């Protein structure tokens, strides 16, 4: 691994941990993404993680806070844009008709996207607004 890749891996680890410690499973390869999506039953929250400030200050905190509800997705997964590029690209393949966006969040059921929150609905929004966006989708689909 070259020094840049090693540095980025070390920098990103706490950002990964923030979600995995909240119960998210990381999908780091295209094969893991395919296995997850093709075997998916029920609802899942997919977080496209990122090193950007809006991921740190808004997306990850909102994703975690949204899970404090009784109605919530059955499964929680994450892919890391810019780190696990192939896995992220494969997950985006399943987001049919949706432009790539990171950070972003998708509520999926049985392999299909039911609700999507792109970066444009994260950046410049308050954490509470993003949490409410997620909770509304949970109440509708979970």
Active site members: 52, 54
What is the distance between the alpha carbons of residues 6 and 76, in angstroms, rounded to a whole number?
27
Q: Taking a C-beta distance cutoff of 8 angstroms, is the pair 24, 78 a contact?
A: yes
Q: Taking a C-beta distance cutoff of 8 angstroms, is the pair 41, 110 a contact?
A: yes
Show the tokens assigned to 106. Answer: 């998708």
Q: Taking a C-beta distance cutoff of 8 angstroms, is the pair 86, 68 a contact?
A: no
């Amino acid at each position: 691994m070259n020094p840049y890749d090693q540095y980025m891996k070390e920098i990103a680890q706490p950002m990964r941990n923030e979600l995995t410690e909240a119960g998210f499973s990381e999908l780091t390869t295209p094969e893991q993404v395919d296995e997850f999506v093709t075997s998916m039953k029920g609802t899942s929250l997919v977080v496209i993680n990122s090193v950007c400030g809006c991921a740190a200050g808004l997306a990850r905190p909102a994703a975690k806070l949204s899970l404090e509800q009784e109605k919530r997705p059955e499964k929680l997964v994450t892919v890391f844009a810019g780190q696990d590029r192939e896995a992220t690209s494969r997950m985006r393949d399943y987001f049919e008709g949706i432009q790539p966006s990171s950070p972003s969040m998708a509520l999926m059921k049985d392999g299909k996207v039911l609700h999507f929150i792109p970066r444009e609905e994260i950046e410049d929004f308050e954490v509470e607004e993003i949490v409410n966006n997620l909770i509304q989708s949970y109440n509708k689909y979970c």
